[in-house]
């Protein structure tokens, strides 16, 4: 009899926890959707894209080295060309790591979500903002192609040292236009936006090169570089 009571108590506790989780998820989703709608009303997607493209130092995607584009996708969002704006595999992995750590240690954001965050929301790590970011990412994916999204992304992210797009960063760090970047410079620059203060090549060259090695490793793992090409990408000059 005692065993039966314990089982019923555990079952009741499970149902209660499940109900609480569902309620919390619904609340976060509704609040996030409200934030998304409000942001979109203040700045429609077309206006957002035009604002980025109107920058005097905007760089079209076809003026960026293929190696740089591959490096960005490999290290930031390797399923970029196959997901619909939110990578649920990466999201679940990040959620598990966050739960294990008891803090926000991994984001799981896609390139599209990062674009949404940079142009519409704050950097604050709260669940309602993450939900709003996901809704905005889905909207962006419906309106723009993957190449257009990548183009907007590299023209609106922070690279450290006061550089807010790929041209500013390339000219500031290397003294050249993005199209002229070497494989070494492409892989070095691709690693910076993950943590601009830490990986700023001018301020923390050692950390920047450590991050660059991670970028190159990811490119080799994804089949973007051969071993010989990887060695070239890690060689200055």
What the chain holds in terms of domains, given with CATH numbers, is 25-233 (1.10.3810.10)
Q: Which of 93, 101, 118 is nearest to 43 (CA)?
A: 118
For residues 132-151, average pLDDT: 96
For residues 123-152, average pLDDT: 90
For residues 215-232, average pLDDT: 95
For the chain, state the CA radius of gyration: 21
Q: DSSP letters of 127-190?
A: HHHHHHHHHHHHHHHHHS-HHHHHHHHHTTS--STT--SHHHHHHHHHSS-GGG--HHHHHHHH
pTM to 2 decimal places? 0.83
For residues 17-37, average pLDDT: 64
Tell me the per-residue pLDDT of 146-156, one tens digit each, with 9 for 90 and over.
999 999 999 99
Asked whether the predicted pLDDT for residue 97 surpasses 80, the reply is no
- The model's confidence at residue 130, banded by pLDDT at 50, 70 and 90, is confident
Phi, psi of 223 (to 5 degrees): 80, 20
Q: Which of 116, 94, 108 is nearest to 32 (CA)?
A: 116
Q: How far apart are the first and last CA of the chain?
A: 78
DSSP 124: -
- The model's confidence at residue 106, banded by pLDDT at 50, 70 and 90, is very low
Q: How far apart are CA 189 and CA 183, in angstroms?
A: 10
Asked whether the predicted pLDDT for residue 98 surpasses 70, the reply is no
Q: How far apart are CA 101 and CA 51, in angstroms?
A: 38
Q: Which of 92, 78, 84 is nearest to 113 (CA)?
A: 84
Q: How far apart are CA 174 and CA 182, in angstroms?
A: 10
Q: How far apart are CA 207 and CA 133, in angstroms?
A: 29
Tell me the per-residue pLDDT of 166-190, one tens digit each, with 9 for 90 and over.
999 999 999 999 999 999 999 999 9
Tell me the per-residue pLDDT of 55-90, one tens digit each, with 9 for 90 and over.
999 999 999 999 999 999 999 999 999 999 998 776
Mean pLDDT lowest for which of 22-36, 51-65, 175-189, 220-234? 22-36
Q: DSSP letters of 64-100?
A: S-HHHHHHHHHHH-TTTTTSSS--HHHHHHHHHHHHH
Asked whether the predicted pLDDT for residue 101 surpasses 50, the reply is no
CB burial of residue 164 (10 Å; 0-12, 13-18, 19+) = middle
């Amino acid at each position: 009899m005692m065993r039966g009571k314990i089982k019923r108590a555990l079952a009741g506790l499970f149902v209660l926890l499940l109900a609480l989780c569902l309620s919390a998820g619904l609340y976060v989703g509704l609040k996030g959707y409200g934030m998304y709608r409000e942001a979109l009303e203040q700045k429609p997607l077309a206006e957002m894209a035009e604002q980025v493209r109107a920058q005097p130092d905007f760089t079209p995607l076809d003026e960026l080295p293929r190696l740089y584009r591959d490096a960005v996708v490999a290290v930031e969002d390797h399923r970029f060309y196959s997901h619909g704006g939110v990578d649920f595999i990466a999201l679940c992995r990040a959620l598990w790591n966050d739960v294990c750590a008891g803090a926000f240690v991994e984001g799981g954001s896609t390139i599209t979500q990062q674009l949404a965050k940079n142009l519409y929301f704050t950097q604050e790590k709260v669940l309602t903002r993450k939900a709003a970011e996901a809704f905005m990412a889905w909207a962006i994916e419906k309106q723009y192609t993957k190449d257009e999204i990548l183009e907007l992304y590299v023209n609106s992210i922070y690279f450290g040292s006061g550089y807010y797009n790929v041209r500013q960063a390339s000219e500031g760090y290397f003294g050249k236009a993005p199209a002229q970047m070497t494989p070494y410079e492409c892989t070095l620059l691709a690693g910076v936006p993950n943590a601009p203060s830490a990986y700023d090549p001018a301020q923390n060259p050692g950390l920047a090169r450590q991050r660059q090695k991670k970028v190159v490793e990811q490119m080799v793992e994804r089949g973007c570089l051969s071993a010989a090409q990887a060695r070239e990408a890690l060689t200055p000059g």
